[in-house]
Structure 1
Amino acid sequence: MGQASIQVTPPAVPAEKVTGPWRDAWKAFRKNKTAMLGLGIIVFFVLIALLAPFIAPYGFKEQELVNRLKAPSADHWFGTDDLGRDMFTRILYGARISLWVGFFSVIGSIVVGTFLGILAGFYGKWIDMLISRMFDILLAFPSILLAIAIVAILGPSLQNALYAIAIVNIPTYGRLVRAKVLSLKSEEYITAARAIGMKNNRILLTHILPNSLTPIIVQGTLGIATAIIEAAALGFLGLGAQPPDPEWGKMLSDSRQFIQKAPWTVIFPGLSIMLTVLGFNLVGDGLRDVLDPRMKN
């Protein structure tokens, strides 16, 4: 007489106990108070950038010469500039420009730098030599001077400033990815993938690229802060956003002659730049502590 088999169903794992590398990283990130502060600052500026048309009490181009250089008041919370434009409104719209330049210049740098870094690190030989020498040439110039030269050639504009910032930061991500690929391609699972006949393109997409994302994410977050500063520097020199666009660096440049007479025209744009850069730096440091194995105990 046969004996009936008994199947035992394993107990379901509660949703809150399900773990994974990204879930664990988020839990560790949330425990970092300074990183969460930085995230809060970033979310705040992103929200005011998105909601600027609904929050702003005036148009950013709207001029009232009779109210020029007015101190902060109930009508103008951050005062007015030398053309009678509301500073609070221009700060809100300026967040759009600075964040837009920061995000998209870094995305461009990451895409091109990652592609070149993977080619150099994975294939090596003359490809590595050619790409590495190109990186060395770009890194031989101070980034801001190279950005100024590029914008001077292309012409002053916000879009050209974005291109310049993206170009000067390509070597940073390219060399970072190249170093990571050099360490990854000697791993046993890469050797095993080649042994079973996996093509190079598939190895790059399924093994090399996913395992190279961690340093890119950390450096990219820190790079946004750098890009915002560079955009402000180009705007200050008149090579970035052109009037009447309310870019924070350009606002500082236009207000530097009124530092003593109307200090609020300098304080609020400068404070906005400082807080935004601080937010991205705090988040970048927090991500490095969470994602970099060398930072873990």
Structure 2
Amino acid sequence: MNVNEEEQIISPWKEAWRSFRKNKAALLGLGIVMFFILLAIFADLIAPYGFRETELANKHLPPSSKHWFGTDEFGRDILSRVIYGARISLRVGFLAVSGSVIVGSLLGIIAGYYGRWVDGIISRIFDILLAFPSILLAIAIVAILGPSLQNAMIAIAVINVPTFGRLLRSRVLSVKEEEYITAAKAIGMTDGRILFHHVLPNSLAPIIVQGSLSIATAIIEAAALGFLGLGAQPPTPEWGKMLADSKDFIIQAPWTVFFPGIAIMLTVLGFNLMGDGLRDALDPRMKR
């Protein structure tokens, strides 16, 4: 491959990055996401206390210089638990969406490329999964598997598989009619090589956009399962579980609900702004 060919491959991504940088809202979203990622990575260094440290004599203390976000019903420092909670929520979001992307993309590629009865079977599976409200389906899956953070991630991954599957299926139906795919078939290239060297690379843009938006959705779904007691179990500092544990003290100690709720809101906002910016940068139809 010569230099000109390399520039032709790299330039669309460089152009997308330049477009992304011009979007102030997208940069704000990226900044928020990076802030929480850094909190998650360096939680052990940043958090002033351990998330398990209890002081019953100091329960429900309001925000102060010693406990910036106050304390909960067990005297645990809420700031420390929110910081460690970033690690839990982001891990759930990234791992659950990664599983959805892998399984959904694989099924979508197969359905879109081979068509006929294969497409019919896979599409009906997607339709069945989409027929149920996503949160109810997640609750049912966790109820069968048992309440835990790992099972919550599995449930979130399953309910998001149809989203990526149908997205990639529609993309493959368009891409497989391109001339370079016909040429690849004509020279005897195998289906596997065509799918993973030509079809998939040319279908990445919508997957990247949907993935960034789905992480925000996954964090909300994990918080909802945690709030219902089906996700993370005590003393894991998951934001949704923190809200559930504090709902009975919302009047006498509102800070126990406020700060975990703000953390969820800001993280979801960051991923949504970043996802919108990626959509505008990667979708040619959005460019002016």
TM-score, normalization: structure 2?
A: 0.96
Pairing 1:259–2:250 present? yes
2:129 counterpart residue number? 138
Quote the Cα distance in structure 1 between the aligned partners of 2:114 and 2:10. 36
Instruction: Name whichever structure is richer in helix by fraction.
Output: 2
Pairing 1:162–2:153 present? yes
Correspondent of 1:48 among 35, 39, 43: 39
Deviates more, 1:186-195 or 1:273-282: 186-195
* Superposed displacement of residue 125, structure 1: 1.0
1:25 counterpart residue number? 16
Correspondent of 1:278 among 258, 269, 279: 269
* Superposed displacement of residue 19, structure 1: 6.7
Unaligned runs of 5+ residues in structure 2 are: none
Correspondent of 2:175 among 171, 179, 184: 184
Quote the Cα distance in structure 1 between the aligned partners of 2:40 and 2:242. 17
Q: How does 1:1-297 map to 2 (within 5 A)?
A: 20-297=11-288
Quote the Cα distance in structure 1 between the aligned partners of 2:271 and 2:200. 24
Deviates more, 1:18-27 or 1:192-201: 18-27
Unaligned runs of 5+ residues in structure 1 are: 1-11
Quote the Cα distance in structure 2 between the aligned partners of 1:189 and 1:100. 39
Q: Which letter maps to 1:106?
A: V
Higher alpha-carbon Rg: 1
RMSD (CA atoms)? 1.3
Q: Deviations over 1:88-140 (max 9, x none)?
A: 00000000000000000000000000000000000011110000000000000
Q: Which letter maps to 1:126?
A: W
TM-score, normalization: structure 1?
A: 0.93
Q: Deviations over 1:236-268 (max 9, x none)?
A: 000000000000000000101111101100000
Quote the Cα distance in structure 1 between the aligned partners of 2:188 and 2:287. 36
* Superposed displacement of residue 194, structure 1: 1.1
SS at match of 1:78: coil
Percent of aligned pairs with the same amino acid: 71
Quote the Cα distance in structure 2 between the aligned partners of 1:198 and 1:99. 40
Once superposed, which parts of structure 1, at least 4 consecutive aligned residues long, lie more than 4 Å away?
none
Q: Deviations over 1:212-239 (max 9, x none)?
A: 1010000000000000000000000000
* Superposed displacement of residue 21, structure 1: 1.0
- Alignment length, in residue pairs? 282
Q: Evaluate the alpha carbon distance shift between residue 19 and residue 128 of structure 1 in structure 2; reply closer, same or farther with a 3 A threshold.
A: closer
Quote the Cα distance in structure 2 between the aligned partners of 1:48 and 1:205. 35
SS at match of 1:20: helix
SS at match of 1:107: helix
Q: Which letter maps to 2:286?
A: M
